[in-house]
Amino acid sequence: MPLYLHATVLVPRGSMPNLLIDREEESERLLDLADSGMAKLALIYGRRRIGKTYLLTNLWPEVRVFYFVASATGPEINRRTLITEAAAWAGVPLEPEDHPTWRTVFRALLELKPSKDIVLVIDEFQYLADGSAGLAEVASELNAIWEQSERYRTGGVLLALSGSAVQTLASLTTGGSPLYGRLNWVHPMEPFDYFYAGEMVASYGTADRLRIYAAFGGVPRYLATVDPDRSVEENIIEHLLSPSGEVRLQLETVLAQEEGLRDVAAYQAILTAVANGGKNGRLSRREIAAALNIKNDGALRFKIDRLEDELGLLEAADTYGDTTRRYRVVDPALRFYYGLVLPNASAIDFVGPERVWRERLVNQVFPTYMGLITERVVAQATRRWADMPAVMGWSTWEGTDRERINREVDLVGETLHGQIATGSVRARGRAMGATDLRAHREHLTAIAHAGQGWARAALKPKAPMLFFSMAGFTDAFQRAAAKEAEERPVLLKSARDLWPDS
């Protein structure tokens, strides 16, 4: 059985004019729920521009699905608008004045086309109320009607609730929520990984797909701006570096668009500090405080936790074996903005984006950034390689040996069988040679002598070693790897292994 399901462009059952990249799980599950002939309730949530709306508006023909997107205008306006639009879709006389509560609204929705199998989508569901407490009341009203759904229709109905207030909607799945136990499917939608991001720009070669992912990340809306008839550099300059660039303008407002987020500048400062967090792009809370010259106190902890847990913009990126929690920016596009665009904003305004790219970014800054992104890409790719032992999660390691010499290991992780797997990643330059393999072993040996038990375990027989090189491997490396493989799995991967079917 393959370790990871490969996706293709999916054309779901029925009439569908557009194509979907990835999203097989979401598509198949929603289609099955809608075709069950029963009353089903689904909840889908995720960051803005992640593709929720595109998915929910392209799975079914318009005659079958009623789609409503709530706005930030207030519950009362949304209640009246919802009833008005539902009446127009179903061709029935419904008046807002006759439906003064959410209970009466939900009952009216369930009574639409009662003998048909229909789909009802309420997008940005959080706007039906003011805050989490109000949304719990709305959910309670929905639950009261949902329990009696068989009284109002003979046909099936899928009610899909969707929204971008991640933590607020996630709270609907907890034990205290009125909808707890009622939801037939809950799904947090995530950005594309490197593979699916590359599928959106499939006309590019492997190296350019990787560069697109490093700059535009995995958010479908950002990737959709890429013009495949232009070079990667032209797309970066136009959409990300230019002050009027479409993706740059969207990234500038990511935080401002979050409901109830105060002191946006403070959150932006944290993201900027982390995105510029040294050579590895990871900072601890103490290091973030030092970079911003602020106190490492509860206020900072609250903001970091919110960026991680509620907004999904930061994630833990700990050093293997170190209990210090470190953070990195999740999506490459946001990291590109805060790490490469924002620090050069003044120069871009003064001399233009083309010159900043050519004279400041392309030769050193962007290639260094690409190295960090490539390490993350390789960690993602290992789930797709059937010959790679399953690793429960990859970290990096950096520190000093007994001689106070700096040592780094690009990838460290534990397999399902308890072995320590390590990896070395080269994102650019020459092919890996035999000296690179020896250097990897020497690093592990020096780290082991410094007292790191995981490094000793990584040198034991049967502990896997992974080597990734964009430019491939020399004959000398392959001979050295063959000898190393006499006592352990040694995997050699290059650019063509990232999208093997290209």
| 19 found inside a domain | no
Residue 460 near residue 485, CB atoms below 8 Å: no
| 255 found inside a domain | yes
Rounded Cα distance between 316 and 330, Å, is 9
Residue 412 near residue 458, CB atoms below 8 Å: yes
Least confident of 41-55, 70-84, 345-359, 424-438: 41-55
| 8 found inside a domain | no
Q: How confident is the model at residue 2 (pLDDT cuts 50, 70, 90)?
A: very low
* pLDDT the model gives residue 279: 66
Residue 241 near residue 352, CB atoms below 8 Å: no
> Within this chain, do residues 220 and 300 fall inside the same structural domain, yes or no?
yes
> Within this chain, do residues 353 and 291 fall inside the same structural domain, yes or no?
yes
Q: Say yes or no to pLDDT of 323 above 90.
A: no
Encoding tokens for residue 285? Answer: 């809370």
Q: Say yes or no to pLDDT of 303 above 80.
A: yes
- Torsion 469-472-476-477 (CA) sign: positive
| Average pLDDT score over residue span 269-278 | 90
> Within this chain, do residues 174 and 226 fall inside the same structural domain, yes or no?
no
Q: Say yes or no to pLDDT of 68 above 50.
A: yes
Full residue range of the structural domain in which residue 329 is found: 194-377
Rounded Cα distance between 337 and 118, Å, is 42
Instruction: Provide the pairing of β-strand 39-45 with 118-123.
Output: unpaired
Which backbone phi and psi does 41 adopt, to 5 degrees? -125, 125
Tens-place pLDDT, residues 375-407: 999 999 999 999 999 999 999 998 999 999 999
Q: Which of 322, 353, 377 is the last residue of a domain?
A: 377
- CATH code for the domain of 98: 3.40.50.300
Of the two residues 19 and 439, the one the predictor is more confident about is: 439
- CATH code for the domain of 236: 1.10.10
Residues 6+ away with beta carbon under 8 Å from 390? 3, 415, 416
Tens-place pLDDT, residues 105-129: 999 999 999 999 999 999 999 999 8
- Look up the pTM and report it: 0.84
For the chain, the domain total comes to 3
Q: Which residues pair with 364 in a beta bridge?
A: none
* pLDDT the model gives residue 453: 95
| 11 found inside a domain | no
* CB-CB neighbours of 285 under 10 Å: 18
> Within this chain, do residues 168 and 242 fall inside the same structural domain, yes or no?
no
Q: Which of 331, 356, 377 is the last residue of a domain?
A: 377
Encoding tokens for residue 466? Answer: 């992974």
> Within this chain, do residues 128 and 222 fall inside the same structural domain, yes or no?
no
Residues 6+ away with beta carbon under 8 Å from 187? 25, 26, 29, 42, 43, 44, 45
> Within this chain, do residues 162 and 233 fall inside the same structural domain, yes or no?
no
* pLDDT the model gives residue 344: 95
Residue 308 near residue 298, CB atoms below 8 Å: no
Encoding tokens for residue 55? Answer: 């998915």
| Average pLDDT score over residue span 294-310 | 92
> Within this chain, do residues 147 and 265 fall inside the same structural domain, yes or no?
no
- CATH code for the domain of 439: 3.40.1350.10
Encoding tokens for residue 326? Answer: 């470190």
- Quote the strand ranges of 107-170, DSSP E: 118-123, 157-163
* pLDDT the model gives residue 164: 81
Residue 120 near residue 158, CB atoms below 8 Å: yes
* pLDDT the model gives residue 429: 79
> Within this chain, do residues 395 and 361 fall inside the same structural domain, yes or no?
no
Residue 409, H or E segment? strand 406-415
* Distance, first Cα to last Cα, the chain: 22
Residue 33 near residue 174, CB atoms below 8 Å: no
| 348 found inside a domain | yes
Residue 325 near residue 284, CB atoms below 8 Å: yes
* pLDDT the model gives residue 93: 93
> Within this chain, do residues 36 and 167 fall inside the same structural domain, yes or no?
yes
Task: Render 346-373 in DSSP notation, one character per residue.
Answer: HHHHHH-HHHHIIIIIIIIIHHHHHHHH
Q: How confident is the model at residue 14 (pLDDT cuts 50, 70, 90)?
A: very low
Q: Say yes or no to pLDDT of 288 above 60.
A: yes
Average pLDDT, the chain: 89
* pLDDT the model gives residue 22: 61
Encoding tokens for residue 403? Answer: 């001689």
Which backbone phi and psi does 157 adopt, to 5 degrees? -150, 135
Q: Which of 357, 377, 397 is the last residue of a domain?
A: 377
| Average pLDDT score over residue span 307-336 | 89
> Within this chain, do residues 319 and 243 fall inside the same structural domain, yes or no?
yes
| 125 found inside a domain | yes
| Average pLDDT score over residue span 240-265 | 89
Q: Say yes or no to pLDDT of 198 above 50.
A: yes
Q: Say yes or no to pLDDT of 499 above 90.
A: yes
Residue whose structure tokens are 């899909």: 160
Rounded Cα distance between 283 and 154, Å, is 57
* pLDDT the model gives residue 20: 57
475-497 burial, b at 16+ Cβ within 10 Å, e below that, comes to eebeebbeebeeebbbbbbbbee
* pLDDT the model gives residue 1: 24
> Within this chain, do residues 344 and 391 fall inside the same structural domain, yes or no?
no
CA atoms within 13 A on the CB side of 494: 11
Tell me which DSSP letter residue 6 carries: P
> Within this chain, do residues 420 and 449 fall inside the same structural domain, yes or no?
yes
Q: Compute the residue count for the chain.
A: 502
Tens-place pLDDT, residues 253-272: 888 877 677 889 999 999 99
| 300 found inside a domain | yes
* pLDDT the model gives residue 18: 44
* pLDDT the model gives residue 11: 33
